[in-house]
Amino acid sequence: MKAVLLAAGKGERLHPITETRPKPLVPILDKPLLLWHVENLQRVADELYVVVRSQDKEMVSSLLNGYNVHVIEQKDGIGGTATAFSSLPTMEDFILVYGDVFYNPSLLQKLANFDNAIVGKEVNNPSEFGVLSINDSFLLSIIEKPENPPSRLINAGIYKLSKQIFYYVDKISPSSRGEMEFTDVVNTAVKDGLKMEVIKYDDFWIDIGKPWHVIEANRLALERIETRIDGEIENNVIIKGKVVIEKGAVVKSGTYIEGPVYIGKNSVIGPHSYLREGTVMGSGTKAGASVEIKGSVIMEGTKVPHLSYVGDSVICEDVNLGAGTLIANLRFDENDVKMSIKGKMETSGRKKLGTIIGGHARTGINVTILPGVKIGSYARIYPGAIVNRDVQKGEFFKPWP
Positions touching a second copy (CB under 8 A) are: 234-236, 238, 252-254, 256, 271-272, 274, 288-290, 292, 306-307, 309, 322-324, 326-328, 332, 362, 364-366, 368, 370, 380, 383-384, 386, 388, 399
Question: C-beta of 282: minimal distance to a second copy in Å?
Answer: 22
Q: Residue 13 corresponds to which amino acid? A: R
Question: C-beta of 299: minimal distance to a second copy in Å?
Answer: 20
Q: Which of 169, 121, 129, 164 is nearest to 146 (CA)?
A: 129
DSSP per residue, 231-292: SEE-SS-EEES-EEE-TT-EE-TT-EEESSEEE-TT-EE-SS-EE-TTEEE-TT-EEEET-E
Question: C-beta of 224: minimal distance to a second copy in Å?
Answer: 26
Give the list of residues 6+ apart from residue 135 with CB closer than 8 angstroms, or none. none
Cβ–Cβ under 8 Å, residues 321 and 299: no
Nearer to a second copy, 175 or 392 (CB): 392
Q: Residue 203 corresponds to which amino acid? A: D
Nearer to a second copy, 1 or 326 (CB): 326
Nearer to a second copy, 139 or 323 (CB): 323
Spatial distance between the Cα atoms of 9 and 150, rounded to a whole number of angstroms: 28
143 DSSP β-pair partners: 131
Nearer to a second copy, 85 or 378 (CB): 378
Nearer to a second copy, 21 or 362 (CB): 362
Nearer to a second copy, 10 or 396 (CB): 396
Question: C-beta of 294: minimal distance to a second copy in Å?
Answer: 10
Q: What DSSP designation does 390 have?
A: -
Burial of 66 (0-12, 13-18, 19+ CB in 10 A): exposed
Question: C-beta of 366: minimal distance to a second copy in Å?
Answer: 4
Question: C-beta of 37: minimal distance to a second copy in Å?
Answer: 37
Nearer to a second copy, 139 or 387 (CB): 387
Question: C-beta of 20: minimal distance to a second copy in Å?
Answer: 18
* Residue 166 backbone phi and psi in degrees, to 5: -60, -30
